[in-house]
């Protein structure tokens, strides 16, 4: 099995045999970069020409062989001719150029949210390096490239380059990343020059309370979250992973960052002043009839001329104001997008592809022969930007908002259902162990591309022909054991390569283009079979032949929800009952106690007994007002009707005592 390091071919022949140089892209301290076209695949590459004295041990090449991340520049081929004193590295071509040129020359000027997108991708690459126990050592705006020049950051990709003499050391990359962020904020807010100084100021606005000063001394307002992140970059214990979780990126995703006001490329103030001066000179020289005056005029003519000139100036000023407002509106519509937030898909350089068939393709990749895996990995390394862009976005979306450059089991379980894959199988951990080259159980970027591109895409497009030409190293029209040895000499012997061809074709003959496409066709049928099995399993599960019916599961969930709601209702009812009980006891304590009255005399008691007996025959007895008012206190057990009568059978001792007290007061008053 091969990995990304085996896909980088190292030749000892002249570079002119494989590439045609076109134009120079730039020149640095240790070498030059030119654009070239590959003879075999017609792909555009950037050839870095450097002296062997600058890197005699080949440390930069050996380090780039280990790196496989979507935001790190990829290396394809190396040419080291013994008779030549230079080394040629064929790398990925970034048409956007260095970050300073992209940020300064892109029009309209970028916003702070665009700076967040660029910095987020750069921090993802640094987090991957920290996971590999590596460091870049020379983070600066010149070592950050943009893949496209004519696309905004939400449709662009950031690339980290130049792993030279400082790479791999223990030099911290976070403080220098803060300098890149400070410069980027100055460029993205429409100012010229890099921002190397910062000063915090309290502002009356709700968003900005800090300013970044450019080389020209222009103060650019930034958000509070951006200022806080800049201060944290200077900390010794601050890491790329913690920076990716900062609130500034969350606010940028929600559109809560300040926006630059729309300004035209060229200010019209100077032209307006010149027009105003010309109008004033012309108005002074005009006469009553609109012709220049000659000699002296009377007062009436002068008055009419002044009034006419004033009207003309007011009319011209009104026209100029309308023209200025129209220009501002056009510039605002042209320079400022309608939405203030960057689309979620823009953080990954474009829209991601649907992952509906990812699991069948993963099973095909694991169950297929080793030659099929080699073919898919080579095809993944030869993808053009049109096919690579959605796959790259899918990888970064699966990696999450705090990316580490690899896909784990948790990443696939949590994010595959959100990207079109209906169900993640239970043996996903076993599949990742079989697909991973190192046996760790994670997917790197190139392996993910080989799985996600699919055999049907390779067989039905010109990608299959380009892959065949790459594998056919001697260009004899067939893939032999010697051709495979170029890729797999470090992981397999010649006998194993012959057995590999025999396993794929049934014989040890060289593989021609028809046989190459036949292997891809068989793999496509295998992929369709896996997809059909998954569909049958899903249908069987929904019909209840293997598992309980889904409706029963839904009913069980609803019963659980209803039980929880009933429990909450009972708890609320119990709380209400206890509150009422406490309030009732509090009202009892607040009531004044009834003073003890003297015992009633026998005459009064006999009269009360007679009146109660008479009322029992009639059905009811009248109740005094005082006793009637106290019947609703809850202390008595009698019942009162609407007319104020009391049932004689329900008279208790407290009621009797109250009646006795009222009759005594009545007798005293008489």
Tell whether the model's pLDDT for residue 13 goes beyond 60: yes
pLDDT (0 to 100) of residue 104: 79
For 80, counting Cβ atoms within 10 Å of its Cβ (0-12 exposed, 13-18 middle, 19+ buried), the class is middle
pLDDT above 90 covers what percent of the chain? 25
Alpha helices by DSSP H, listed for 506-594, are 513-543, 550-590
Tell whether the model's pLDDT for residue 475 goes beyond 60: yes
- Per the prediction, the chain carries an average pLDDT of 74
Tell whether the model's pLDDT for residue 64 goes beyond 50: yes
Mean pLDDT of 31-47: 91
Mean pLDDT of 399-426: 89
Lowest-confidence range among 174-178, 253-257, 404-408, 502-506? Answer: 502-506
pLDDT (0 to 100) of residue 185: 84
Q: Using CA atoms, how far apart are residues 91 and 10, in angstroms rounded to an integer?
A: 13
pLDDT band at 500 (very low <50, low <70, confident <90, very high): low
Mean pLDDT of 193-208: 41
pLDDT (0 to 100) of residue 363: 93
Tell whether the model's pLDDT for residue 621 goes beyond 60: no
pLDDT band at 436 (very low <50, low <70, confident <90, very high): confident
Q: Using CA atoms, how far apart are residues 109 and 444, in angstroms rounded to an integer?
A: 35
Q: Using CA atoms, how far apart are residues 485 and 241, in angstroms rounded to an integer?
A: 40
Q: Please say whether the beta carbons of 520 and 375 come within 8 A.
A: yes
More confident residue, 557 or 112: 112
Q: Please say whether the beta carbons of 133 and 67 come within 8 A.
A: no
Provide the terminal-to-terminal Cα distance of the chain, rounded to the nearest Å: 120
Question: What are the two backbone dihedrals, phi and then psi, of residue 144, each rounded to the nearest 5 degrees?
Answer: -120, 120
More confident residue, 549 or 603: 603
- Other CB atoms within 10 A of residue 12 CB: 11
Mean pLDDT of 656-664: 77
More confident residue, 583 or 499: 583
pLDDT (0 to 100) of residue 553: 58
Q: Using CA atoms, how far apart are residues 206 and 223, in angstroms rounded to an integer?
A: 9
Mean pLDDT of 119-132: 92
pLDDT above 70 covers what percent of the chain? 65
pLDDT (0 to 100) of residue 604: 54
Mean pLDDT of 255-278: 51
More confident residue, 597 or 69: 69
Q: Using CA atoms, how far apart are residues 233 and 353, in angstroms rounded to an integer?
A: 35
pLDDT in tens, 310-359: 544 555 555 555 555 544 444 343 333 434 455 555 677 778 888 889 99
Residue located via tokens 């780039």: 64
Q: Using CA atoms, how far apart are residues 453 and 388, in angstroms rounded to an integer?
A: 9
Q: Please say whether the beta carbons of 126 and 240 come within 8 A.
A: yes
3-state helix, strand, coil in the chain (%, to 5): 55, 10, 35
pLDDT band at 212 (very low <50, low <70, confident <90, very high): low
Tell whether the model's pLDDT for residue 549 goes beyond 50: no
pLDDT (0 to 100) of residue 388: 93
Helix, strand, or coil (residue 217): coil
Question: What tokens does 187 get?
Answer: 């460029």
Tell whether the model's pLDDT for residue 595 goes beyond 90: no
pLDDT in tens, 142-185: 999 999 988 888 889 999 998 876 777 667 889 999 989 988 88
pLDDT in tens, 70-106: 999 999 999 998 888 899 999 999 999 999 888 877 7
């Amino acid at each position: 099995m091969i990995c990304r390091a085996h896909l980088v071919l190292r030749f000892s022949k002249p570079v002119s045999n494989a590439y045609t140089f076109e134009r120079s892209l730039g020149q640095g301290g240790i070498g030059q970069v030119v654009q070239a076209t590959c003879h075999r695949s017609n792909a555009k590459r950037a050839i870095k020409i450097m002296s062997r004295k600058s890197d005699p041990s080949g440390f930069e090449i050996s380090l780039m062989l280990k790196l496989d991340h979507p935001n790190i520049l990829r290396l394809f081929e190396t040419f080291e001719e013994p008779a030549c004193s230079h080394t040629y590295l064929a790398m990925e071509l970034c048409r956007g150029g260095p970050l300073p040129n992209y940020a300064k020359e892109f029009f309209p000027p970028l916003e702070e949210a665009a700076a967040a997108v660029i910095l987020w991708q750069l921090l993802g690459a640094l987090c991957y390096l920290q996971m590999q126990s590596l460091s870049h050592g020379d983070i600066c705006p010149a070592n950050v490239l943009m893949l496209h020049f004519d696309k905004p950051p939400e449709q662009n990709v950031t690339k980290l380059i130049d792993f030279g003499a400082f790479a791999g050391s223990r030099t911290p990359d976070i403080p220098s990343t803060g300098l890149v962020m400070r410069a980027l904020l100055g460029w993205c807010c429409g100012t010229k020059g890099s921002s190397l100084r910062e000063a915090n100021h309290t502002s009356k606005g709700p968003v900005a309370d800090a300013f970044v000063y450019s080389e020209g001394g222009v103060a650019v307002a930034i958000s509070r979250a951006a200022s806080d992140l800049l201060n944290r970059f200077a900390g010794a214990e601050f890491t790329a992973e913690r920076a990716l979780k900062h609130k500034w990126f969350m606010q940028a995703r929600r559109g809560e960052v300040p926006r630059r006001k729309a300004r035209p490329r060229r200010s019209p103030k100077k032209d307006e002043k010149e027009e105003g001066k010309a109008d004033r000179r012309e108005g002074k020289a005009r006469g009553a009839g609109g012709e220049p005056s000659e000699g002296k005029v009377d007062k009436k003519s002068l008055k009419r001329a002044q009034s006419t000139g004033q009207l003309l100036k007011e009319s011209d000023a009104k026209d100029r104001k309308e023209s200025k407002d129209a220009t501002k509106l056009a510039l605002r519509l042209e320079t400022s997008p309608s939405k203030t937030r960057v689309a979620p898909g823009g953080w990954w350089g474009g829209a991601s592809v649907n992952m509906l068939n990812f699991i069948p393709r993963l099973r095909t990749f694991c169950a297929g022969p080793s030659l099929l895996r080699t073919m898919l990995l080579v095809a993944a390394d030869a993808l053009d930007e049109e096919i690579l862009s959605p796959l790259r976005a899918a990888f970064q979306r699966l990696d999450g908002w705090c990316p580490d450059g690899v896909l784990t089991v948790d990443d696939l379980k949590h994010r595959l259902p959100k990207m079109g894959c209906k169900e993640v199988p239970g043996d996903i951990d076993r599949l990742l162990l079989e697909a991973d080259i190192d046996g760790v159980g994670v997917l790197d970027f190139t392996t993910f591309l080989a799985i996600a591109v699919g055999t049907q895409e390779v067989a039905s497009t010109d990608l299959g022909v380009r892959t065949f030409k790459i594998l056919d190293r001697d260009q004899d029209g067939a893939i032999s054991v010697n051709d495979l040895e170029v890729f797999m000499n470090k992981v397999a012997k010649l006998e194993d390569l012959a057995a590999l061809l025999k396993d794929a074709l049934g014989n040890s003959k060289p593989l021609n283009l028809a046989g190459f496409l036949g292997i891809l066709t068989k793999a496509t049928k295998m992929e369709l079979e896996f997809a059909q099995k998954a569909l049958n399993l899903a249908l069987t599960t929904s019909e209840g032949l293997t598992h309980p019916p889904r409706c029963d599961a839904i009913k069980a969930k609803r019963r659980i929800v209803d039980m929880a709601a009933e429990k909450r209702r009972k708890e609320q009812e119990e709380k209400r009952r206890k509150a009422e009980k406490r309030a009732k006891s509090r009202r009892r304590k607040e009531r004044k106690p009834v003073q003890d009255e003297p015992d009633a005399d026998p005459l009064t008691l006999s009269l009360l007994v007679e009146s109660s007996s008479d009322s029992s025959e009639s059905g009811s007895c009248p109740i005094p007002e005082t006793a009637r008012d106290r019947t609703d206190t809850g202390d008595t057990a009698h019942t009162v009707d609407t007319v104020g009568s009391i049932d004689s059978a329900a008279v208790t001792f407290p009621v009797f005592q109250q009646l006795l007290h009222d009759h005594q007061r009545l007798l005293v008053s008489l």
